[in-house]
Structure 1
Amino acid sequence: MSTRFARVALDHPLDALYDYRYPDGWPEPRPGMLVRVPFGRRESVGLIVEVSAHSEVPANKLRDVIEVCASCPPLSEKWLALVEFAADYYQRGLGEVALPALPQALRDPPRWPRLLAPEERYRLLPAGREALPEALPARAAALRRLAEALVTAGELDLADARALHPKAAATLESWRDAGWVEYECVEFGAAPRASGQIPTVKNTDDADSADLSVGTNGNVDARATNGANGANGAKEPVALHRLSDEQQTAVEAIVESSGFAPFLLHGVTGSGKTEVYLRALAARLEREPEAQALVLVPEINLTPQFEAAFRTRFAGVLPDGAIVTMHSGLAEGERARHWLAAHTGRARIVLGTRLAVMASLPHLAMIVVDEEHDPAYKQQEGLRYSARDLAVWRAKQLAIPVVLGSATPSLESWWQADQGRYTRLTLSRRAMADAVLPTVKLIDLEEERRRGRASFEGLSGPLIAAMKARLERGEQSLIFLNRRGYAPTLACDACGWVAGCPRCSAYVVLHKPERALRCHHCGWESRIPHSCPECGNVDIAPMGRGTQRIEEALASAVPGARVLRIDADSTRRKGSAQALFSDVHAGEVDILVGTQMVAKGHDFQRVSLVGVLNADNALFSHDFRASERLFAQLMQVSGRAGRAGLPGEVLVQTRYPRHAIYHALARHDYVGFANSQVKERRDAHLPPFVYQALLRAEGRTLEAALAFLAEAAAALTAIPAASRVMAYDAVPLTIVKVMNVHRAQLLIESQSRAALQATLHAWQPALRALRGVLRWNLEVDPLDI
């Protein structure tokens, strides 16, 4: 038998494939197979990209593949084409894209046998569904978690069960002996069990039929299901409520589309975009028995309510384990199992954050990107990709529909719809008959000051009075301040000292509950000083306000109110965000204080008032996208009010009440705002009318970083395609120093995407030849400049 050679991609900065001999007697080598290979003095996991009968590498330098992951089906040609495109477009090596896109556990060969072993599952029987709730001791918390998970999902694999209860195997075996569960051992990659009928797009006129809404426990409930549970204990499909005319039009357009069909679903907050996703997905999955769908959300804390909605809608009609999540908050083993479920086709719906866009889905038939405008879809380290843009490219590659949903679409997507490249679908009214958009009022802080009206810790009199009125009526209020911590910094009035980070060119944030000063850029932390380190003055005080300070102030401003804060500090522990949101949904909170975590996607049924603090800062940002982001943020947080029939009101505290952004917000006029912004961008030659890339350099000194960028700019003159590219002067970043590393950037742009890409490709060898900095990276289509 002739020798075969595998060309392998490794997680390495160079855009190169490495040749290895593939031993005889092993399974036939195929592109997409994972292998363990020697690389230098260590071993690495790589991905076979090509198989050849010849190699240009001298025989004495060739080495053998050590191990092949034969149990895992090879990654498809379509998936390899996706990572090749991402590597090419975002100027990275193929291995740098392909290997990090896989779960960490799959890149660890010692874990292959366990990950790819037959799956041991326990399925709940009707007798167990009846007996389990009453058979468990009241104080057996772990036992109850196991039972509740089993009742909810219908079945559990042993690995998931052990994560819930340390003695899950023995417990499940005892339940098996009692006739409550049955055991099944499934070979890895086996096809899922046949599903029932998926709910169709047909509407019902029954006034008692269900709509999906957030219940008092924080989960999404289905009201009025079609009767009792069946004989096998599985839930029957929920009844579907009548769609509005706009929803029906949107669903029909998506369902009836063929080939590549990009849709921009522009729906006001509370207009029922999720219901459109569910109906369209149901129709697609019913039409194609093996079809898979990918649903992207911008943040981890939005996945629980989406997952609950999807599980409720498809309970009993999709195979067990057919809905999985993918995000960085999962444990390594759990993420790997979910990824493998998608890779083998067992998972029919994958719900995840931006990393899920790179998941292997061999039968992908539809993609949904919810809150498509959100900056969180852009990765800010490593491979700096846009998950939204890759989702659109992937849909085009596979000739499938992709739905981009938002109440405030990105200007790039809005312009694509204006050009006719995307089909715009509009939901102009809220879905519930008695739900209307909230009234937006502006509180002029300068006028309040001139009239001598007192404020309390940044809370104006009208806002405090409005919160007290909601408290008396048993309604909830939401106070939005996009700044965590107690105060932005600590200062001395006597000498002007301001607490700064010794490692960064930034102020440290005061965190009063922890009695600490903390840098939000590098993590440096110190105790709060008793006096000014410069002059010894003991009268040092916090400057500005963060969510912790507002939480403290509300306890005094609105006596008797139950105040809850939700931000990155209060939700550090796994599952804490979901628990806090459940408290809000359950009515155990009167006033919710939060950052952008609470501004989007959450269906707060009792919130009738939203107060916005400190929005003016974004009006003076140097970033040309600041206005777009501020308007989207304000529209999204405003949409949390008045979603369940209660009259909603939004109070925005500002010193600039005549600003155009606030007037557009008061009218809920996204269309007018977007059109004016697009015109400004066109006149200023900014994206989406030009294409940009950013070269960043990090050095031990700022001078070294700027010198590197100057040499890089000079190297552009030797590139023919660069004649159509403009390079701006190198400048320091806004936060120049982080972790004692100085940073600078060089912006280049062109009216031709092809010219920009050609320039970047030709520029790379020259950049690699330059020295003098610690690190440099190229970012295509940057969001933060």
Structure 2
Amino acid sequence: MGAFKPYKKIWPLLANLYLESRAYTEYGTTREKEEMQTTERHAPYGTVRVAVDVPFAGEGIFDYHLPPSLEGEVKIGSRLLVPLSSRQVEGYAVEVIPVDDRAHLKDIIAVLDEAPPLTPELIALARHIAGETGASLYRALLAMVPTFLKSKRREIIVWSAESMPLIVLPEEEALLLYVKKRGRVPKARLVQIFPDALETIARFEQMGWLKTDYELFDRSRSKQQKAVRLVSDAENKMEREKLRGVKQRAVIEALLGASDRTMMQDELFEKTGATHATLQSLVARELIIIDTINTYRRPEIASTFVQSAPHVLNTWQARALDTLMEGFQRGGDQPYVLHGVTGSGKTEVYMAFVERILNAGKNALILVPEISLTPQMVARFTGRFGESVAVLHSALSDGERYDEWRRIRQGEARVVVGARSAIFAPLSDIGAIIIDEEHEASYKQEEMPRYHAHRVAMWRARHHRAVLVLGSATPLLETYAYALAGRYQLIELPERANRRPLPEVRLIDLKKTAQTYPLLSEPLKAAISERLMRGEQTILLLNRRGFASVLMCRACGHTIGCPHCDVTLTYHRGEEKLLCHYCGYNEPYPERCPRCHAPHLRPLGVGTERMEETLKTAFPEARILRMDRDTTSRKGKHEELLGAFHAGEADILLGTQMIAKGLDFPKVTLVGVMLADMGLFVNDFRAAERTFQLITQVSGRAGRGTLPGEVIVQTYHPEHPSLRLAERGDYQTFVRQELERRKAAHYPPFYRLALIKMAHRDPAKVKTWLSEVTETLRAHVKQDTEVIGPAPAERLRLRDRYHYHTLIKYRHEQAMSELIARVFQPYLDVWRKHAVEVSLDIDPYTL
């Protein structure tokens, strides 16, 4: 197969691309300014600017005086405890001003860490993110630190009288004496000890005997262990001491045979049967020393690995590596798009490139889209690079994540593999940033700050002069368009690494095909049976969890909905409950209809839980694994399920989109898409693209070994262009058609988008406020900017709040977030008073 040849018809479409990536190659003055801002500085004296969390207060930056007692301890990036109004809050030092204004400023109370958790580079990056997203600087900074480094606030009950009140009830007296004796007691502790604590506290606060204070408590703790080591002249002392105890001699012999004559205390106990008393006796005889040392809590998958050797690259992979190394030599002058078919060996190219980067003295950062991908990716990178790999993703415990972060911060890890937030890893000397499956929606943060990992990666790559690699079999349409236009450099891997053909894809029209079971057509059923007979494996994708999406009464037609949201409740049979997937509301499965009280409730729709039951009935001999949010909520379940399937302990893997990409199982020869129409007709300009990507990605799980693969896609709309083109694997035609549609409708990559969202319990008020904001905005934007709305969100009511939004399409607005912030300014006090939820999303991924 030759190189991909972009259609000539695509080129005229690219003339009006939004000039988003121009800044990528503009170093010069801009870069020098950034370097000046990110130079690490101690604060010898004077004023420190601190970013704190203050809603509706602009950037939330306040000046504080640096007292003499803290001179030399505060640096840019230090986490501080500072006074704000009547409370103490956490903040981050973002600037040092050599002006001593102690007469007008409050003192910094404390420095919370020995070393700053944020580097000067990350402080500058946070300013950039805050400016792009409209978030406060503190919120941008907070997104960069692990959970363990985020202090929690707790209420403290303080004794504030000279003597006890004259008349109190016995139970009240006990609580008051408890507080009086200690002076300050956490409120939570009082609630645990005294049954009526809340009422008692409220009463005596009003009378003046008690008051509530607030304090921050730090959760960052290193894991400590005991290490036992022999003293330098232990052999000479042993001759004099003449040890007679069997366990004492066993301890000495074990330490003599250990590296550096040192062993961890727990390991020593297990190996020798010694006890604490045994060790204390040896300490008293000055034969051993017991040290307390800090250790790392390593994720199991990163600490247990099998060393692997590099594969020999094929011609296409070798060309790709050469191109990336040329970019590295040029100082990462532009992003690179690694567009390779599924199974083309993109990961092997990543690892070969990282190896070259490490040999050049630089470090590497690799992002994967979801935690389901991380086990296989981590296993491959640790197999190649060993202990130098650190892992960062949400499935780790707080302690594991904190310790991996410490290893990176202290320069002990040179390769970081993780999900979206790993883009903020405090890695220095970065030579390569790789975003695998770059098209994935999970790279966009949906909470404030609403950053996209792409744009953050571009900033960091520019700062470090590193190579940014965007890899995918189905690149984001914007990414591919920029590559075709020459903004990014396109690298192609047009064939599978093992030269096996791509799997055959078949569309099955569910309207015309018999189904013995719901969503299990006869062709798919026959194909699964064939794989079971041959001892091969099958992957089935159904992108909806639960047993049934609707519970309907056959007597009156009533469907049971969430009382807080405009959605129906999903039936989860395993727990016999109805659950809202938006707000978490749940209720027991009802015996009768809540409207007409008839006992004729019927589950409608199919989720993964129901499909698992169907498969067990249809294939009683099959071993089936289900992988969705319900089955992977416990720590380590992703690794456990994927490991079991890889080891051949199951015949069928059924799951949601977490199984659709990046996984490599050589024995999988059949992939079934149970219903391709999900998500195809939602009100979102990316719906067709997402469907094409999902089908192409999950199809790529079949036939990756030596056996041929087959893909069966079930649908009620086989005529849809996205499905037809995915069936043929025709990415080029899909790109051309989708670009034509987006250009006509003024969507990315030809226009940028901004989305203002507003929510409140009163729908009339929220619509009025958003209408005023929208009209003000219309009066201040450029002529070719479109302001659409306000309009109700697709789901109007969620969590008892009514949601409306306004969409802005623009090309020439240079500072959209700043303009919207100015429009918001007159309303901030009113919105705060009425608890209005307002958000701004620049470049939203979903509408």
TM-score where L is the length of structure 1: 0.82
Contact 2:778/2:787 (8 A) holds in 1: no
Contact 1:220/1:312 (8 A) holds in 2: no
CA shift in 2, pair 1:110/1:616, >3 Å: closer
In structure 2, the partner of 1:751 is 811
Mapped partners of 2:135, 2:378: distance in 1: 33
Mapped partners of 2:614, 2:748: distance in 1: 42
- Pair 1:295 & 2:355 matched: no
- Pair 1:34 & 2:79 matched: yes
Mapped partners of 1:447, 1:512: distance in 2: 30
Mapped partners of 1:463, 1:277: distance in 2: 36
- Pair 1:245 & 2:290 matched: no
CA drift at 1:351: 1.1
In structure 2, the partner of 1:575 is 636
1:735 to 784, 795, 811: 795
CA drift at 1:310: 0.8
Which deviates more, 253-262 or 544-553? 253-262
In structure 1, the partner of 2:747 is 686
Per-residue displacement from partner, 1:357-413 (whole Å, max 9, x unpaired)? 122222222101011100011111121111122112221222210111111110111
**For residue 366 of structure 2, what is the amino acid of its counterpart?**
V
CA drift at 1:431: 1.0
In structure 2, the partner of 1:199 is none
**For residue 242 of structure 1, what is the amino acid of its counterpart?**
V
1:306 to 377, 386, 393: 377
**For residue 266 of structure 1, what is the amino acid of its counterpart?**
H
- Pair 1:403 & 2:469 matched: yes
**For residue 566 of structure 1, what is the amino acid of its counterpart?**
M
In structure 2, the partner of 1:372 is 438
- Pair 1:592 & 2:653 matched: yes
**For residue 337 of structure 2, what is the amino acid of its counterpart?**
L
Mapped partners of 2:148, 2:82: distance in 1: 17
CA drift at 1:175: 10
- Pair 1:259 & 2:338 matched: no
Which deviates more, 402-411 or 392-401? 392-401
CA drift at 1:508: 0.5
**For residue 741 of structure 1, what is the amino acid of its counterpart?**
R
Mapped partners of 1:169, 1:112: distance in 2: 30
How is 1:480-491 mapped onto 2 (pairs within 5 angstroms)? Answer: 480-491=541-552
Mark the runs of 5 or more structure 2 residues left unpaired by the alignment: 1-42, 152-215, 230-257, 280-288
Which deviates more, 643-652 or 36-45? 36-45
Mapped partners of 2:803, 2:765: distance in 1: 9
CA shift in 2, pair 1:769/1:55, >3 Å: farther
Per-residue displacement from partner, 1:583-621 (whole Å, max 9, x unpaired)? 111111111111101111111221111111121233322
CA drift at 1:576: 1.2
CA shift in 2, pair 1:309/1:667, >3 Å: same
Mapped partners of 2:370, 2:814: distance in 1: 32
In structure 2, the partner of 1:227 is none
Per-residue displacement from partner, 1:512-544 (whole Å, max 9, x unpaired)? 111111110111111111122222222221111
Mapped partners of 2:130, 2:221: distance in 1: 31
SS at match of 2:603: strand
Per-residue displacement from partner, 1:456-484 (whole Å, max 9, x unpaired)? 12211111111101100001111111010
2:608 to 531, 547, 553: 547
Mapped partners of 2:732, 2:82: distance in 1: 55
In structure 1, the partner of 2:139 is 96
**For residue 531 of structure 2, what is the amino acid of its counterpart?**
R
Mapped partners of 1:61, 1:27: distance in 2: 19
2:341 to 261, 268, 278: 268
Contact 2:354/2:364 (8 A) holds in 1: yes
- List structure 1 segments (4+ residues) > 6 angstroms apart after TM superposition: 117-123, 172-178, 182-189, 217-222
Contact 2:368/2:420 (8 A) holds in 1: yes
Per-residue displacement from partner, 1:282-330 (whole Å, max 9, x unpaired)? 0000011xx2211111111211111111111123xxxx4x211112222
Mapped partners of 2:623, 2:228: distance in 1: 42
Contact 2:684/2:846 (8 A) holds in 1: yes
Contact 1:722/1:756 (8 A) holds in 2: no
Contact 2:432/2:467 (8 A) holds in 1: yes
**For residue 304 of structure 1, what is the amino acid of its counterpart?**
P
Mapped partners of 1:74, 1:622: distance in 2: 42
**For residue 81 of structure 2, what is the amino acid of its counterpart?**
R
CA shift in 2, pair 1:575/1:118, >3 Å: closer
Mapped partners of 2:724, 2:465: distance in 1: 41
CA drift at 1:185: 8.0
Mapped partners of 1:455, 1:34: distance in 2: 62
**For residue 471 of structure 2, what is the amino acid of its counterpart?**
G
Mapped partners of 1:293, 1:112: distance in 2: 29
Contact 2:134/2:818 (8 A) holds in 1: no
Per-residue displacement from partner, 1:662-720 (whole Å, max 9, x unpaired)? 2211221222212221121112211111111111111112222211101111332564x
C-alpha RMSD of matched pairs (Å): 3.1
CA shift in 2, pair 1:120/1:426, >3 Å: farther
In structure 1, the partner of 2:403 is 337
Mapped partners of 2:401, 2:384: distance in 1: 23
CA drift at 1:77: 2.7
**For residue 320 of structure 2, what is the amino acid of its counterpart?**
A
- Pair 1:44 & 2:89 matched: yes
In structure 2, the partner of 1:444 is 509
In structure 2, the partner of 1:129 is none
CA drift at 1:241: 2.5
**For residue 592 of structure 1, what is the amino acid of its counterpart?**
L
Mapped partners of 1:5, 1:188: distance in 2: 37
How is 1:504-543 mapped onto 2 (pairs within 5 angstroms)? Answer: 504-543=565-604
SS at match of 1:300: coil
- Pair 1:783 & 2:783 matched: no
CA shift in 2, pair 1:611/1:218, >3 Å: farther
CA shift in 2, pair 1:173/1:79, >3 Å: farther
- Pair 1:644 & 2:705 matched: yes
- Pair 1:762 & 2:825 matched: no
Give the aligned length.
689
Which deviates more, 98-107 or 692-701? 98-107
Mapped partners of 1:774, 1:622: distance in 2: 25
Mapped partners of 1:413, 1:31: distance in 2: 35
Mapped partners of 1:325, 1:562: distance in 2: 32
CA shift in 2, pair 1:676/1:767, >3 Å: farther
Mapped partners of 1:412, 1:676: distance in 2: 14
SS at match of 1:86: helix
Contact 2:47/2:66 (8 A) holds in 1: yes
**For residue 244 of structure 1, what is the amino acid of its counterpart?**
N
Contact 1:712/1:766 (8 A) holds in 2: no
Per-residue displacement from partner, 1:395-445 (whole Å, max 9, x unpaired)? 122221011111111011111101211111111111124x32110011122
In structure 2, the partner of 1:6 is 48
CA drift at 1:750: 0.9
Mapped partners of 2:304, 2:113: distance in 1: 41
Mark the runs of 5 or more structure 1 residues left unpaired by the alignment: 124-150, 190-216, 223-234
CA drift at 1:183: 10
Contact 2:787/2:809 (8 A) holds in 1: yes
In structure 2, the partner of 1:17 is 61
In structure 2, the partner of 1:654 is 715
SS at match of 2:50: strand
CA shift in 2, pair 1:735/1:32, >3 Å: same
Identity of aligned residues (%): 37
Mapped partners of 1:298, 1:170: distance in 2: 42
- Pair 1:78 & 2:121 matched: yes
In structure 1, the partner of 2:561 is 500
Contact 1:218/1:586 (8 A) holds in 2: no
**For residue 634 of structure 1, what is the amino acid of its counterpart?**
I
Mapped partners of 1:521, 1:743: distance in 2: 14
Larger Rg over CA atoms: 2
Contact 1:372/1:405 (8 A) holds in 2: yes
